[in-house]
Structure 1
Amino acid sequence: MASTSELKIGQKLNEGKTKQIFELLEPPGRVLVQSKDQITAGNAVRKDQMEGKAAIANKTTSCLFKLLQESGIKTAFVKQHSDTAFIAAHCEMIPIEWVCRRVATGSFLKRNPGVKEGYRFSPLKMEMFFKDDANNDPQWSEEQLLEAKFCLAGVTIGQCEVDIMNRSTVAIFEILERAWATQNCTLVDMKIEFGVNVKTQEVVLADVIDNDSWRLWPAGDRSQQKDKQVYRDLKEVTPEAMQMVKRNFEWVSERVKLLLESQASGRVVVLMGSTSDLAHCEKIKKACSSYGISCILRVTSAHKGPDETLRIKAEYEGDGVPTVFVAVAGRSNGLGPVMSGNTAYPVINCPPLTPDWGAQDVWSSLRMPSGLGCSTILSPESAAQFAAQIFGLTNHLVWCKLRASMLNTWVSLKLADQKLQACSI
Structure 2
Amino acid sequence: MELIYTGKTKDVFKLENELYLLKFKDDVTGENGVFDPGANTVGLTIDGAGLAGLKLTSFFYSKLNELEVPTHYVDANFEEQTMTVKPATVFGKGLEVICRFKAVGSFLRRYGAYATEGQDLDAFVEVTIKDDDRQDPPISEDALAMLNLLTHEEYAILKERTIEIAKFVGAELAKKDLTLYDIKLEFGRDAKTNEIILIDEISGGNMRAYKGATYIEPLELEQIMLAK
State the TM-score, normalized to the length of structure 1: 0.49
In terms of fraction of residues, the more helix-rich structure is: 1
Distance in 2 between residues matched to 1:115 and 1:21, nearest whole Å: 39
Please state whether the residue corresponding to 2:114 is helix, strand or coil. Answer: coil
Answer yes or no: is 1:86 the counterpart of 2:83: yes
C-alpha separation between the residues in 1 aligned to 2:90 and 2:226? 27
Q: Is the 8 A contact 1:19 1:36 kept in 2?
A: yes
Taking the aligned partners of 1:17 and 1:161, their CA distance within structure 2 comes to: 27
2:159 aligned partner = 166
Shift, 1:12, TM fit = 1.8
Q: Secondary structure at the residue paired with 1:137?
A: coil
Q: Is the Cα contact below 8 Å between 1:96 and 1:193 reproduced in 2?
A: yes
Offset, 1:75? 0.6
Supply the distance in 2 between the matched residues of 1:19 and 1:59 (Cα, whole angstroms): 14
Structure 1 match to 2:6: 15
The answer (yes or no) to whether the contact 1:64–1:256 under 8 Å persists in 2 is no
Highest RCO, 1 vs 2 (Cα 8 Å, sep ≥ 6)? 2
CA separation of 1:110 and 1:166: change in aligned 2, threshold 3 A: same
CA distance in structure 2 between the aligned counterparts of 1:14 and 1:46, rounded to whole angstroms? 16
- Shift in alpha-carbon separation, 1:73–1:45, aligned structure 2, 3 A: closer
Who is 2:43 aligned against? 47
**Could you give the per-residue CA deviations for residues 285-338 of structure 1, whole angstroms, max 9, x where no partner exists?**
xxxxxxxxxxxxxxxxxxxxxxxxxxxxxxxxxxxxxxxxxxxxxxxxxxxxxx
> Retained in 1: the 8 A contact 2:30–2:44?
no
Q: Give the letter aligned to residue 51 of structure 1.
A: D
Aligned counterparts of 2:76 and 2:155: Cα–Cα separation in 1: 29
In the alignment, the residues of structure 2 paired with residue 132 and residue 15 of structure 1 have an alpha-carbon distance, to the nearest angstrom, of 15
| Structure 2 residue runs without a partner (length 5+) | 32-38
| Bigger Rg, structure 1 or 2 | 1
**Structure 1 residues 119 and 249, CA gap change in structure 2 (3 angstroms):** closer
Kindly tell me the number of residue pairs found equivalent between the two proteins. 217
Structure 1 segments of 4 or more deviating over 6 A?
none
Matches within 5 A, 1:267-286: none
Q: Is the 8 A contact 1:61 1:210 kept in 2?
A: yes
Which residue of 13, 18, 25 maps to 1:36? 25
Q: How does the TM-score come out when normalised to structure 2?
A: 0.89
Please give the residue correspondences for 1:96-111 in structure 2 after superposition, counting only pairs within 5 Å.
96-111=95-110
The answer to whether the 8 A contact 2:60-2:202 is kept is yes
Aligned to 2:11, what secondary structure does the other structure show? strand
Higher strand proportion:
2
Structure 2 counterparts to residues 123-202 of structure 1, below 5 A: 124-150=123-149, 157-202=150-195
1:265-304 deviation per Cα after TM superposition (whole angstroms, max 9, x unaligned): xxxxxxxxxxxxxxxxxxxxxxxxxxxxxxxxxxxxxxxx
User: Percent identity at matched positions?
Assistant: 26
Note if contact 1:100-1:191 (Cα within 8 Å) is conserved in structure 2: yes
Residues 1:253 and 2:222 are matched in the alignment: yes
User: After the TM superposition, which residues 105-124 of structure 1 pair with which residues of structure 2 at under 5 Å, given as runs?
Assistant: 105-112=104-111, 113-122=113-122, 124=123
Task: Give the Cα separation in 2 of the matches to 1:109 and 1:88.
Answer: 34
- CA RMSD across the alignment: 1.7
Report deviation, 1:46: 5.5
SS in 2 for 1:225: strand
Gaps of 5+ in 1: 1-8, 151-156, 227-247, 262-425
Instruction: Assess, with a 3 A threshold, how the Cα gap between structure 1 residues 88 and 125 changes in structure 2: closer, same or farther.
Output: same
Question: For 1:30-57, what per-residue CA distance to the aligned partner results, in whole angstroms no more than 9, with x for missing partners?
Answer: 1001011212314565633322222111
| 8 Å Cα contact 2:70/2:197 also seen in 1 | yes
Q: Does 1:213 align with 2:206?
A: yes
Q: 1:126, 1:255 → 2: CA distance? A: 27
**Given the superposition, is the C-alpha separation of residues 139 and 57 from structure 1 closer, same or farther in structure 2, using an over 3 Å criterion?**
same
